[in-house]
């Protein structure tokens, strides 16, 4: 028979340290750069693991991270799991109430905090019931916080043994924890097993997924506190790719500079990031050499066709659409063009790119309509996406709401989609964001995409507002670009999109606002817009 050999997160790091000891890990630190190798990463992970052990952290204790994308955060991705504990990545953009709730709910024993983020924790420190150790990710001189007993990460590491002593754990044990913000109510906790992370890393690196190789130089712009950073810190380590971390507050300039200087081949982030980069390049007029990029991955929310087109036309980069969610560790699909679709016209290819792609090997899918029947995969019929697979969650941890989402072994995603005959998913909307007009569904996302295709529109969100006769009607909330060729009016918008939709789909009104409110992970926060325009006639 085959050996019992557990699939553990630390195998990923151990393998990289053996096979790629000298490959680089590069972090932007202010205007400077920090560089070290996978061999260094293993040693420092060993030190962090031993330091945490001495603080009383061991299986199954949880360690919270509150940090930007940097090498110390990468160490914190690996160290707790190697000692049988759990890494809990905390979203730094949460409201204080949610932040206090999740730290207490997780029962974090220690928090690893970037120095400049310490004030956010100070503000809620009195409400934290389980945290015993505040560890500041820096040198002693970086510890300027008033958090009780705060210690320097580097002091802890220097005092700890460099001997690497991984714990002997079961692959089904928890090694990661991430909270997802709920449409209503408190955040919900998703736990990841060692096995899930290992299999997610292997699969997401495959040729028809991210096609990761040791030749890659990977820069995740997506925050490390967001949905496992799409698994990239693990998958890039698994294949031995060099990794670039953009550090604190990465703005478009920092992103462009790092791509150019470090020869980044693959980068990943939410659409807002890529829209911001494009906007910056146009406004600043600075010329960067971004030709090393072979793949720009966009995910987290729909990528407007216009942005895809702009990257292709102006930068010569094909963006790759990825789709997933915290509950799936997070990848469900990556949009790569199938060989039999090579003959599509340029326009058809662009439209294909805007879809969410075909599910990864290992993921099973159902498309379930409002009657609970399986919808046809004909690109027309719509249904809710259900998933199962070796890295999909089966519950929210300690949460009564689990039963609504995890039913009979299937995860109900809440995403309404169609699937075309080639297997490409196209997300239409969230179940909760669809506009119900006279008993028929209108997709807010379809409308937004077309509105955002207008050259004078920076962002647009469509929400449902109550209507006495039709129950709900769509309202478009539009952010114009700073400089527009002509004044942007309701009529201009409606005329621009009217060829694409049935008459009754068109928004009843268009309001112009300064900014679309965003959630803590950069998605449009329609909850806020709905409240603001609740009584809009």
Q: Is 296 in the site for a copy of itself (CB under 8 A)?
A: no
Of 214 and 279, the one with the shorter C-beta distance to a copy of itself is: 214
Asked whether 103 and 117 are in contact (CB, 8 A), the reply is: no
Applying CB under 8 A, among 214, 257, 420, 508 the residue interacting with a copy of itself is 214
Q: Which of 35, 127, 314, 338 binds a copy of itself (CB under 8 A)?
A: 338
Tokens of 246: 């953009």
Find the shortest distance in angstroms from Cβ 194 to a copy of itself.
9
Long-range contacts of 493-500 (CB under 8 A, 24+ apart): 493/451, 493/454, 493/457, 496/450, 496/451, 496/453, 496/454, 497/447, 497/450, 497/451, 497/454, 500/450
> What is the DSSP pairing of strand 319-324 with strand 509-512?
unpaired
- 314 sits in the region (left: phi over 0; alpha: psi -120 to 50; else beta) called alpha
| Binder of a copy of itself out of 168, 184, 287, 340 (CB under 8 A) | 340
Q: Point out which span in 208-216, 315-323, 483-491, 506-514 binds a copy of itself (CB under 8 A).
A: 208-216
Catalytic residue among 436, 490, 523, 527: 436
410 as an active site residue: the answer is no
| Least Å from the CB of residue 198 to a copy of itself | 9
For 271, phi then psi, to 5°, come to: -55, -40
- φ, ψ at 66 (rounded to 5°): -140, 80
Per-residue contact flags (x/-) with a copy of itself for residues 118 to 157, judged by CB under 8 A: ----------------------------------------
Q: What is the DSSP string of 236-259?
A: HHHHT-EEEE-BSS--HHHHHHHH
Which of these is catalytic: 171, 327, 384, 459?
327
Contact residue for a copy of itself among 60, 263, 362, 414 (CB under 8 A)? 362
* Cβ-count burial 156-175 (b if 16+ within 10 Å, e if not): bbeebeeebebbebebebbb
Least distance from C-beta 79 to a copy of itself, angstroms?
A: 20
Helix (H) or strand (E) holding 388: strand 383-388
Residues 159-188 that bind a copy of itself (CB under 8 A): 172, 174
Using CB under 8 A as the binding rule, the residues of this chain from 216 to 245 that contact a copy of itself are: 238-240
273 binds a copy of itself (CB under 8 A): no
Cβ proximity to a copy of itself, 276 vs 390, nearer residue:
390
Closest approach of Cβ 321 to a copy of itself, in Å?
17
- Of residues 14 through 43, those in contact with a copy of itself by CB under 8 A are 14-15, 18-19, 22
Other beta carbons within 10 angstroms of residue 533's beta carbon come to 18
Nearer to a copy of itself, 4 or 249 (CB): 4
Catalytic status, residue 327 = yes
**Greatest CA separation for the chain:** 73
Q: Which of 441, 470, 472, 484 is catalytic?
A: 441
**Catalytic position from the list 180, 265, 326, 365:** 180
Contact 447, 441 (CB under 8 A): no
Does 535 bind a copy of itself (CB under 8 A)? Our answer is no
Element (H, E) at 406: strand 406-407
Q: Interface with a copy of itself includes 2 (CB under 8 A)?
A: yes
SS3 66: strand
Q: Give the span between the Cα atoms of 251 and 317, in whole angstroms.
A: 20
Residue 366's closest CA among 326, 303, 413? 413
Does 339 contact a copy of itself by CB under 8 A? yes
Coil, strand or helix: which one is 103?
A: helix
Q: HEC string of 263-300? A: CCCEEEECHHHHHHHHHHHHHHCCCCCCCCCCEEEECC
Q: Which is nearer to a copy of itself, 122 or 208 (CB)?
A: 208
- Binding-residue pattern over the window 418 to 457 for a copy of itself, x denoting contact by CB under 8 A: -----x----------------------------------
Among residues 34, 253, 388, 481, which is the contact residue for a copy of itself, using CB under 8 A? 388
Q: Which is nearer to a copy of itself, 146 or 291 (CB)?
A: 291
Does the annotation mark 505 as catalytic?
no
343 makes contact with a copy of itself (CB under 8 A)? no
> Which of 397, 422, 394 lies closest to 409, judged by CA?
394
Q: Residue 461 — φ and ψ, nearest 5°? A: -130, 140
Q: Which residues pair with 179 in a beta bridge?
A: 189
CB of 166 to a copy of itself, least distance (A): 12
Q: Is 436 a catalytic residue?
A: yes
Question: So which residues are the catalytic ones?
Answer: 180, 327, 436, 441
Please report, as ranges, the residues that interact with a copy of itself according to CB under 8 A. Answer: 1-5, 7, 11-12, 14-15, 18-19, 22, 172, 174, 191-193, 195-196, 199, 202-203, 205-208, 211-215, 238-240, 329, 338-340, 358-359, 361-362, 364-365, 388-395, 397, 409, 411, 423
């Amino acid at each position: 028979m085959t050996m019992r050999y557990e699939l553990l997160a630390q195998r990923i790091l151990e393998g990289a340290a053996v096979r790629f000891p000298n490959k680089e890990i590069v972090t932007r630190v202010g205007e400077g750069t920090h560089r070290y190798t996978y061999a260094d990463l293993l040693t420092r992970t060993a030190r962090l693991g031993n330091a945490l052990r001495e603080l009383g952290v061991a299986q199954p204790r949880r360690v919270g991270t509150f940090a930007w994308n940097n090498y110390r955060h990468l160490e914190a991705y690996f160290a707790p799991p190697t000692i049988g504990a759990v890494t809990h990545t905390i979203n730094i953009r949460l409201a204080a109430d949610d932040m206090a709730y999740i730290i207490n709910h997780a029962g974090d024993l220690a928090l690893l905090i970037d120095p400049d983020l310490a004030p956010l924790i100070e503000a809620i420190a009195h409400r934290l019931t389980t945290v015993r150790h505040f560890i500041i990710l820096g040198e002693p001189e970086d510890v300027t916080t008033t958090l009780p007993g705060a210690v320097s990460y580097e002091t802890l590491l220097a005092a700890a043994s460099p001997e690497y002593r991984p714990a002997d754990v079961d692959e089904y044990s928890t090694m990661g924890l991430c909270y997802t913000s709920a449409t209503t109510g408190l955040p919900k906790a998703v736990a990841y097993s060692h096995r899930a992370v290992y299999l997610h890393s292997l699969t997401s690196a495959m040729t028809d997924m991210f096609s990761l190789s040791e030749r890659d130089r990977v820069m995740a712009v997506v925050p490390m506190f967001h949905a496992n950073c799409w698994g990239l810190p693990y998958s890039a380590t698994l294949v031995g790719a060099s990794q670039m971390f953009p550090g604190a507050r990465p703005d478009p300039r920092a992103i462009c500079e790092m791509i150019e200087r470090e020869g980044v081949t693959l980068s990943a982030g939410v659409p807002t990031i890529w829209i911001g980069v494009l906007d910056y390049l146009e406004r600043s007029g600075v010329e960067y050499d971004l030709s090393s990029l072979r793949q720009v991955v966009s995910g987290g929310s729909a990528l407007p066709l216009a942005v895809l087109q702009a990257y292709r036309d102006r930068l010569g980069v094909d963006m790759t659409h990825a789709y997933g969610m915290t509950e799936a560790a997070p990848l469900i699909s990556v949009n790569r063009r199938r060989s039999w679709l090579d003959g599509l016209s340029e326009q058809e290819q662009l439209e294909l790119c805007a879809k969410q792609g075909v599910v990864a090997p290992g993921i099973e899918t159902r498309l379930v309509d409002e009657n609970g029947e399986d919808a046809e995969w004909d690109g027309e019929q719509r249904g809710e996406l259900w998933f199962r697979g070796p890295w999909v969650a089966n519950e929210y941890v300690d949460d009564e709401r689990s039963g609504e989402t995890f039913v009979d072994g299937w995860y109900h995603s809440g995403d309404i989609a169609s699937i075309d005959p080639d297997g490409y998913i196209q997300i239409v909307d969230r179940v909760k964001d669809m506009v119900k007009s006279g008993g028929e569904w209108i997709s807010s996302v379809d409308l937004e995409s077309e509105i955002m295709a207008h050259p004078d529109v920076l962002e647009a969100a469509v929400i449902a507002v109550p209507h006495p006769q039709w129950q709900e009607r769509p309202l478009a909330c539009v952010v114009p670009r700073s400089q527009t060729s002509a004044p942007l009016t309701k009529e201009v918008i409606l005329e621009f999109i009217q060829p694409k939709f049935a008459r009754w789909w068109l928004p009843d009104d268009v309001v112009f606002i300064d900014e679309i409110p965003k959630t803590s992970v950069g998605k449009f926060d329609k909850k806020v817009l709905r409240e603001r325009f609740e009584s809009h006639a």
